[in-house]
Amino acid sequence: MEKSFKIFGYFVLIIGAVSMVLPFLYMLSLSFMTEEQIFKNFGLLPSPFTLEGWRHVFKNSDILRCFFNSFFVATLTTVGQVIISAMAGFAFARLNFRFKEPLFVLILISMMIPPQVNIIPLFFVMKQLHWINTYQALIIPGLFGGFGVFLMRQWFQSFPSELENSARMDGCSNWEIFVKIALPLATPALITLGIFTFITTWNSFMWPLIVTSSEAIKTLPVALAEFKGSFRETTEWAQLMAFSAVCTVPAICVFLLGRKFFINDLLSGSLKE
């Protein structure tokens, strides 16, 4: 009976994996097809194989510039949020200071507020700072996140107090304990937070659409929406699928590169000393 349940569990996981991967593979396949093949043959594999859709996208759109903008914004936002969240999480977990608990409660409350509620006041702040159509407007609002502080606080709370006490006996300051001991041990949590932040920032559409109108700093999701909604008589599906693939592949690569640490972070919650 136990073996049957195990086989059934694997079967469900395989079905779930296929349902997730198949649409992405089909999108890639469509990008290498001709328009005639897409609408007449409905085949899974391109026959004939053509790069015409990809050539058109790279030739007639500013996709490389948009790719750089998205990568630049997502990378700086990820690095900034990981650093800030790690320092704040360590402070809330291991240090004692005035109003510590009320401040952390406010951070938890901020996680319950839908992001759409903050868009209008945040836009006026960006306007007063003259940051509309700048990288600052795309990066700085994303440097702080309540989820990141909460995640790092929970991780640092499990940090062995014996190591901290030994370091203090050796004369280490709070900063030295944080940099030399706590951060290296928190690598899985840091990479997990980095994955979440990068993918969220990379896929962000509403905020970049509102604070940018210049072609020079347009991000990929905004460019994809404009490409899809451009005024043409017919939609060129091969080109649209090629553009979508460019938007999707980097986020998948980031997850695959950090999946080992991501899984380790999830499993660490089930382990006890």
pLDDT, average across residues 152-168 = 87
How far apart are alpha carbons 142 and 265 in whole angstroms? 23
The pLDDT of residue 265: 56
How far apart are alpha carbons 54 and 39 in whole angstroms? 18
Tokens of 19: 């349902």
pLDDT digits (tens, 9 = 90+) for 195-215: 999 999 999 999 999 999 888
Among 199, 203, 204, 202, smallest CA distance to 255 is for 199
The pLDDT of residue 271: 41
The pLDDT of residue 4: 75
- Classify each residue of 72-101 as buried b or exposed e, where b means 16 or more C-beta atoms within 10 Å of its C-beta: ebbbbbbebbbebbbbbbbbbbbeeeeeee
The CATH number assigned to the domain with range 61-268 reads 1.10.3720.10
pLDDT, average across residues 165-194 = 89
How many residues are recorded in the chain? 273
Question: With 0-12 CB in 10 A as exposed, 13-18 as middle and 19+ as buried, what is 215?
Answer: exposed
The pLDDT of residue 67: 94
The pLDDT of residue 197: 94
Task: Give percent above pLDDT 90 in the chain.
Answer: 40
CB 251: neighbour CB atoms within 10 A?
Answer: 18
Q: Which amino acid is at 235?
A: T
pLDDT digits (tens, 9 = 90+) for 249-267: 888 888 888 777 665 655 5
- The CA-atom distances, in angstroms, between 16 and each of 5, 11, 19, 190 are 16, 9, 5, 28
How far apart are alpha carbons 257 and 28 in whole angstroms? 20
pLDDT, average across residues 64-83 = 95
How far apart are alpha carbons 230 and 130 in whole angstroms? 29
pLDDT of residue 270 exceeding 50: no
Q: What value does the mean pLDDT of the chain take?
A: 86
Tokens of 126: 């960006």
The pLDDT of residue 269: 47
Among 190, 194, 201, 196, smallest CA distance to 90 is for 190
How far apart are alpha carbons 70 and 226 in whole angstroms? 15
| Domain spans, the chain | 1-50, 61-268
CA angle 173, 179, 182 (to 5 degrees): 95
Please identify which residue in the block is written with the tokens 């500013």.
62
Among 249, 259, 272, 185, smallest CA distance to 27 is for 249
pLDDT digits (tens, 9 = 90+) for 7-55: 888 888 899 888 888 888 888 888 888 877 777 766 677 777 888 889 8
The pLDDT of residue 233: 58
How far apart are alpha carbons 101 and 108 in whole angstroms? 11
pLDDT digits (tens, 9 = 90+) for 118-135: 899 999 999 999 999 999
Among 11, 70, 101, 18, smallest CA distance to 217 is for 70
pLDDT digits (tens, 9 = 90+) for 221-242: 999 888 876 545 567 888 889 9
Among 155, 135, 152, 158, smallest CA distance to 81 is for 152
The pLDDT of residue 231: 46
